[in-house]
Amino acid sequence: MRNLILFLSFFLFTIFCKAQKRDINLDVIHPVVKHDSHGDSIRKYFTSTTYNKGRNDLLISAFYSNKLEVDYKDLVKKIPQLKNYENHKKGIYEVTLNSTGGRDAIPIFDTSGIIITVNGINAKNAHEYEFRVLQDKKKVVVNWRTPKFFVPVYWMSRIADPAKIDLVTAYLGHFKAGYDTGLTFEVRKKAFPDSISVSLSAYWVKWKPKVVGVFTFSGFPNFLRVFNRQWGNQMLRNSYNTNWKSDTTLLKLKNEFNHEDNNLIFYLDDIIGSKNVTEYNLVNGRDSTGWKWNDFDFNLVWLKNLPPGNYELKMRYSMQREHTSSYPFTIRAAWYQTLWAKIGLSMLVLLAIGFVVLLWHSRKQAEKLRRQSTLKQLVQTELKSIRSQFNPHFVFNALSSIQGLITKNDSENASKYLLEFSSLMRDSLKASTNEFVSIASEIKILENYLKLEKLRFGFNYQIETTELIDLNAVEIPSLFLQPLLENAVKHGISSLQENGWLYLTFEKVAYDMVVMVKDNGKGFNENSEPTGFGLPLTKERIKLLNQTLNEQHIEFSVTRVNDKTHVTVYFKNWLL
């Protein structure tokens, strides 16, 4: 059994690693860079690094996620692989707040990738330059090509014309790679093919949290000293003081604590950009809190009011959930926390707290009634959603089809489709409790639904996806597509029987996801008065979702092309 578990773990890990594919986008400008004329959005989402040989030479810039960073002064010690991509030619590099310089490779910790621009190249002189991309300094993944896209400059420079400020910079592309992979970006003048004008490298790193010190409540002043040493110089040019880890009298690792030391601060080594970056799971025997976001934006995890016991603090970064670290520790019990002490104290105070318990019970009962009332309203709302997906007419017909198989003594197919019907109902009820589900989960429900409808009407169907969309990672609103398929069957191909066909496709267009339902039925008029709940509820849901989505929205259209009905849903900026 243990060998089987190890084999499955290795197999899943291998699949995940293969999923981290290289992704190079040279033909579409990233929307944050394209529409940001003042640099506000860039500073919000990205950290930047620049590098050039001299003040008047080409300046190459990189923009990458600012969610997690490592102190650039200790970078090569922590990640020695970065030294393999060192810019050997002497140059000038700019170190921004919490950023690494361009002398060595830039560490990339998540899948958002890196954006490369070059100051000094504009539409007038672009024909004089070309660039290429190397993987691990050997393999050419993008051969020499001329820059063809330009965006407003982020870093002010006078390179293209020393007498004028550069207004635009060449946009080379948006690049992603798998872990333990490096990409090098080289730019040269076509007139000097043997000389690289400027270059920069990025390396995708496997990373996990590391505890460098543990503080108790009694040691809180020491925590404040360390915190002030690290972040007290935050407004200075070079980020924060890197000597904060040198005082081993303040930063100590400890694994056993007394019962009064049950409020613990675990100090981490990295620079955290948001509390949603760090996730932790506190395990105590068979109990665990489950993975949850950190409560603080800084590099620390604060656990409060822990009861005695043996614990294991598991930690990970949200952009690399497959890489976890753990820190075991124990909180010893006080005498009054032992079992016999608790029994004795409980017997002594039992009569005294009886009245309090009665009042507490009354309040809890009233609160329970309020919760039940609220829960009832929520259940009614969910039932309305479920009824819009599976109306009684469909359930009756589906069961009638199964009964027909039983009457024909086709017990094998009857059992098969009865199982599929129950699986469909179970999965749909489960999905209706979540606002969003993965595409893979949604497709599973749709497959079960179409199989049952095919049992009734005999039509053909096909679901097509693309490798450019991670079906297990990308999520869409739960039970969102089923009403569209039901309308295609009910109003379109049900009367065609075996001559009917239905296609469901998922495509990636730039940073958008396009989902299309096509059928060869007679179609229906989108503007006509609907007879069911599916389409009105879908439109109302899209309207509400668009009010809550941030920098994303959903569009819906119904068209008739060559006597075929096309229902298209555009998930805008869904794949950023």
The CATH code of domain 211-335 reads 2.60.40.10
pLDDT of residue 380: 45
Tell me the C-alpha distance between 146 and 188, whole Å.
10
Structure tokens at 499: 């001559």
Using alpha carbons, list the distances in angstroms from residue 311 to 10, 284, 307: 26, 5, 10
Which comes out higher in pLDDT, residue 385 or 303?
A: 303
Summarize the confidence of residues 208-226 as an average pLDDT: 90
Mean pLDDT of the chain, nearest integer = 82
432 SS3 class: coil
Cβ–Cβ under 8 Å, residues 314 and 329: no
Cβ–Cβ under 8 Å, residues 345 and 334: no
pLDDT of residue 533: 60
* Per-residue pLDDT band at 354 (split at 50, 70, 90): confident
Cβ–Cβ under 8 Å, residues 114 and 106: yes
Using alpha carbons, list the distances in angstroms from residue 212 to 134, 230, 279: 36, 13, 17
Tell me the C-alpha distance between 557 and 567, whole Å.
6
429 SS3 class: helix
Give the closest residue to 313 by CA, choosing from 278, 272, 261, 338. 278
Give the closest residue to 197 by CA, choosing from 99, 125, 149, 139. 125
Structure tokens at 314: 């598991």
The predicted-structure confidence for 61-103, as pLDDT tens digits, reads as follows 999 988 887 776 677 888 899 888 887 655 555 545 445 667 7
Domain 390-572 has CATH 3.30.565.10: yes
Torsion of CA 40, 179, 89, 240, to 10 degrees: 50
The predicted-structure confidence for 249-273, as pLDDT tens digits, reads as follows 788 899 999 989 999 999 998 888 7
pTM of the model: 0.54
Q: Is 286 exposed, middle or buried (0-12, 13-18, 19+ CB in 10 A)?
A: exposed
Domain ranges of the chain: 17-204, 211-335, 390-572
pLDDT of residue 448: 84
How does DSSP assign 357-426, residue by residue? HHHHHHHHHHHHHHHHHHHHHHHHHHHHHHHHHS-HHHHHHHHHHHHHHHHTT-HHHHHHHHHHHHHHHH
Whether the pLDDT of residue 186 is over 70: the answer is yes
Using alpha carbons, list the distances in angstroms from residue 361 to 1, 373, 536: 47, 18, 45
Give the closest residue to 276 by CA, choosing from 141, 122, 110, 145. 110
Give the closest residue to 517 by CA, choosing from 573, 458, 561, 473. 561
Cβ–Cβ under 8 Å, residues 336 and 302: no
Cα 125 → chain centroid: 39
Summarize the confidence of residues 18-31 as an average pLDDT: 78
pLDDT of residue 242: 56
* Per-residue pLDDT band at 298 (split at 50, 70, 90): confident
Cβ–Cβ under 8 Å, residues 216 and 263: yes
Amino acid at 109: F
Structure tokens at 147: 């820059």
Cβ–Cβ under 8 Å, residues 36 and 171: no
The predicted-structure confidence for 459-470, as pLDDT tens digits, reads as follows 999 999 999 999
Residue linked to tokens 């599916």 = 534
* Per-residue pLDDT band at 1 (split at 50, 70, 90): very low
For residue 130, count other CB atoms closer than 10 A to its CB: 18
